[in-house]
Chain A
Amino acid sequence: MPSSRRAGLLARPSAPPIENAQIEGDRMKIVVGHLFPDYLNIYVDRGNIAVLARRAAWRGHELDVCSISVGEPVRPGEHDLLYVGGGQDREQALVAPDLVAKSDGVREAVAGGAALLAVCGGYQLLGRSYRDFHGIDLPGIGLFPLDTVAGETRMIGDVLLECELEPGVRRTLAGFENHAGRTRLDRAAEALGRVVAGFGNDGESGWEGCRVGRAVGTYLHGPLLPRNPWFADWLLAQALAHRLGAPPELEPLPDDLEHRAHAVSARRAETRGGGRR
């Protein structure tokens, strides 16, 4: 691999060198740090992680998933991808203080070029703040420039987004959302996508999710990755970019089943998704 492999867009000179990159020909080991798998695991994580692992393996790469639970630090540079799932309110409240203690580690890891996917509860906790139903403020870690306030009603239903993660390349994400939180992005913040059908961040703005470089937060579960294989591959490429400096082209896979599932899910969003558009 070229010596410029740390010279990615988001790499910081101060980031520690990667010592455990195991490169055999084009085969890579992709290290995933899974935050709080024992607490935040509702309806999202297993499917998403399984999809990343299989799609990596089908290209000859290996996904090494490490659990990072309460009391364990996030060591910047150690992981190519951080994953934070969703939980029920109770579990979310149990981990929130610990996540704040990890905030420097998470922010440094992402600034150092690690990719990140945060879904639902994880997405909320990685924002600046979360005000719960009782009006109590939970501090977030401020990775995403947004604030969330729990509303009276939950926004539940199928949802369809249009994303443009690379200029000029528009693709859709189909999923399911179930959240009481209304998330407001800062004016300058970049959303993950535009809501085609469904509620999105707050049911009003027409935006869903948030993206900061290689870090993405979203309310979409369903889970997200099985029926949106292009996005799974985008994340894998971003995780590899942490190693390689730039996202590699991934060999295409036969995704007929994935596309069928996507089409059904997208149709559901169009016919029965929430929102006021």
Chain B
Amino acid sequence: MAGHPPIGEHSIGSPFWGTRRPPGCSDSLSSAVRLPVPLSAEIAVARAAGRLSRLAGAGGGTTIPGKLLWRLDPGAIDRLARRLPLGSAVVSATNGKTTTAAMTARILRSRVRLAHNSSGANLVSGVASTLLDARGAELGLFEVDEAALPEVAERLKPRALCLGNLFRDQLDRYGELEHVAARWRKAVRELAADAALCVNGDDPQVGDLARERPGSMVFGVDDPSCARPSLQHAADSKYCVRCGTPYDYAAAYVGHLGDYRCPRCGHARPPLHLAAREIELGGLDAVQFRLVTPAGARTVRMRVPGLYNVYNALAAAALSSTLGTSFDEVVSGLEGFSAAFGRFERIVIGDRRLLMLLIKNPAGANEAVRTMVDGGAPSVAVVALNDGIADGRDVSWIWDVDFEPLIGGLERIVATGERAAELALRFKYGGLREDAIEVVPSLESALDRGLELTPAGGELVVLPTYTAMLALRKIVSERGFVRPYWKRAA
């Protein structure tokens, strides 16, 4: 392991619970008085709207109250956030923010009452809705959309911010990667002086943000045995953020995440304070790694699969640590974690099981495919491609996904969703025989067809985009197999 950066001197584990109040907390009453409409009235109206939406059957209604509140008075969100006695912690990333926040919640939940947007409503309105619902909560824990991060951070004034990764994702909505990175840098610069920052050092753009704030906690993977032989097609930040020269990678793990160094100017992965070593991938069911920190090292056995979940676990461990959680609590929280909403979620349907893996961009989909193939490639899969705003209206990203490892083992694929035919072409030109491809645009019919092709006792793999995932969960829940997401516990 010579040549790898040493685990740094960052101290972990100074409990703060109950000892400190976030900035601005004390003036929440006086600002409430200045409101044109009392905050309590706004809250009552917004909450009633959420109930109405659910009664009307318009889905979860999870962001309706927040949208209304935001429209009535955007500043109300700031004041609601200041009511949380322990302040807020924020997670953002292209991939893994929902899972990272869910892991963090699992670690923290025995210690503190959380306001957590666990169903993935991660724009300003979703955060506002969660705050509206957060009666009695002590700490806010929010996953936040990459593009929404600057505004949310400005309003919440988080005490801790954890930044995971930046991959190409929905260029039609977010714009180019560089612009998102620049906005993140600004958000980091505007954090309160005493706020903690955790960053993934393996991502060149994100790791570089640690230089903005001395004392940032940097996490990353340090196990070249898990490295990929070469950078994936979907690798994005592979040119030096300072001088544009292609990085040399001592190890590339997921997309452009890895141990990089610029051969020209020397810009390199920052020293890690929290690292994963000795990673053992356990197919579809588990992953194990050695969590190395300045406070010592422990083996963590998780019940979720894949290298990308190691990154999520590192992010959750870093964030929890900066919030004062002990090493034991971090490990037991990670080991007790099962899947987040729609991410590697298993649902029993009669005598068959459904394994749902959300896909939403090339880097994330590549990891889903890699993990699935490592666990034994399925012979049948349902893949669902929608093109709503939340999925990305531009479906061309599917051509940047490495579906090919999956194609080798497939006997049949059911392509579904609004852009089912487009998806079928991806598999056709990826080398799958045309008679192995079924195009079934209706999600419900495709699900039934997939289940029909799955033997009793077997497992059907479903890879949906975001709105297709919501729709499929709704179908399954209407059949009584899964609780609606707005009733799920955090």
Residue ranges of A at the interface with B (Cβ–Cβ < 8 Å): 38, 41-44, 46-47, 50-51, 54, 88-91, 94, 154, 156-158, 176, 178, 221-223, 226-227, 254, 257-258, 260-261, 263-265, 268, 272
Smallest Cβ distance from B168 to chain A, in angstroms?
7
What are 11 A-B pairs with beta-carbon distances under 8 A? A44-B396, A47-B399, A89-B178, A90-B178, A90-B244, A176-B393, A176-B394, A176-B395, A226-B425, A261-B421, A265-B422
A residues near B430, Cβ cutoff 8 Å: 50
Residues of A within 8 A of B421 (CB): 257, 260-261, 263-264
Contacting A at CB under 8 A, from B398-446, are: 399-400, 418-419, 421-422, 424-426, 428-430, 434, 437, 439
Question: From B427, which residue of chain A is reached at the shortest CB distance?
Answer: A257
Q: Least Cβ distance of B124 to chain A in Å?
A: 22
Residue of B whose beta carbon sits closest to that of A154: B175
A156: contacting residue among B172, B177, B395, B422, CB under 8 A: B172
Q: Would A227 and B425 count as touching, CB distance under 8 A? A: yes
- Pick the most buried of B400, B418, B429: most chain A CB atoms within 10 A of its CB: B429
Residues of B within 8 A of A157 (CB): 172, 393
Of A44, A176, A227, the residue contacting B172 (CB under 8 A) is A176
Contact between chains at B399 and A46 (CB < 8 Å):
yes
Confirm or deny: B397 has a beta carbon within 8 angstroms of a beta carbon on chain A: yes
Q: Which residues of B contact A260 (CB under 8 A)?
A: 421, 424, 439
> Does A264 lie within 8 Å of B425, measured CB to CB?
no
Among candidates A44, A51, A257, residue contacting B424 with C-beta atoms closer than 8 Å: A257
Q: Do A261 and B172 touch (CB < 8 A)?
A: no
CA distance A223 to B395 in the complex (A): 9
Report the minimal beta-carbon distance from A252 to chain B, rounded to whole angstroms. 15
Which of B121-159 touch A at CB < 8 Å? Answer: none
Q: How far is the CA of A38 from the CA of B231 in the complex (A)?
A: 11
Contact residues in B for A272 (Cβ distance below 8 Å): 393
B285 interface hit (Cβ, 8 Å): no
Counting CB contacts under 8 A, is B190 at the interface?
Answer: no
Would you call B248 an interface residue if the criterion is a C-beta within 8 Å of the partner chain's C-beta atoms?
A: no
CA distance A236 to B393 in the complex (A): 29
Known: A176-B394, A265-B422; 7 extra A-B contacts, CB below 8 A, are A46-B233, A46-B399, A50-B430, A88-B168, A89-B176, A94-B244, A264-B419
**Bound Cα distance A45, B168 (Å):** 15
B233 touches A268 (CB 8 A): no
User: Does the CB pair A50–B422 fall under 8 Å?
Assistant: no
Report the minimal beta-carbon distance from A143 to chain B, rounded to whole angstroms. Answer: 24
Q: List B contacts of A43 (CB < 8 A).
A: 168, 171, 394, 396-397, 399-400
In the assembled complex, the CB of B323 is this many whole angstroms from the nearest CB of chain A, namely 35
**Residue on B with the closest CB to A263?**
B421
Interchain CA distance A91-B421 in the complex, whole Å? 31
Q: Nearest-CB distance from B228 to chain A (Å)?
A: 16
Bound-state Cα–Cα, A44 to B168, Å = 13
B329 surroundings in chain A (CB, below 8 A) = none
Asked if A257 meets B425 with Cβ closer than 8 Å, knowing A154-B175, A178-B394, the reply is yes
B387 sits at the interface (CB 8 A): yes
Report how far A157 CA is from B233 CA in the complex, Å: 24
Residues from chain B with a CB closer than 8 A to the CB of A178 are 171-172, 394
Give the chain A neighbours of B176 by CB distance below 8 A: 88-90
Rounded to whole angstroms, the CA-CA distance of A261 and B244 in the bound complex is: 38
Q: Nearest-CB distance from A87 to chain B (Å)?
A: 9
By beta carbon, the residue of chain A nearest B168 is A42
Closest residue of chain B to A158 (Cβ to Cβ) is B393
- A222 adjacent to B394 (CB under 8 Å): yes
Query: Lowest 8 A-B CB distances belong to which pairs?
Result: A47-B399, A260-B421, A43-B396, A261-B421, A88-B176, A226-B425, A50-B429, A261-B422
Interface digits, B369-398 against A, CB 8 Å rule (1 contact, 0 not)? 000000000000000000100000111110
Interface 0/1 of B435-477, CB less than 8 Å to A: 0010100000000000000000000000000000000000000
Question: Which residues of chain B from 163 to 220 have a CB within 8 Å of any chain A CB?
Answer: 168, 171-172, 175-178
Distance, CA A77 to CA B434, complexed state (A): 36
B308 located at the interface, meaning its Cβ lies under 8 Å from any Cβ of chain A in the complex: no
- Which A residues touch B17, using CB under 8 A? none
Are B425's CB and A268's CB within 8 A?
no
A257 & B434 in contact (Cβ 8 Å cutoff): yes
Instruction: Write out the residue numbers on chain B whose beta carbons fall within 8 Å of the beta carbon of A223.
Output: 396, 399
B244 lies within 8 A of A257 (CB): no
Q: How far is it, in angstroms, between the C-alpha of A41 and the C-alpha of B439 when the chains are bound?
A: 28
Q: How far is the CB of B397 from chain A (nearest CB, A)?
A: 6
Are the CB atoms of A226 and B397 closer together than 8 Å? no
Question: Using Cβ atoms and an 8 Å threshold, which residues of chain B touch A268?
Answer: 387, 393
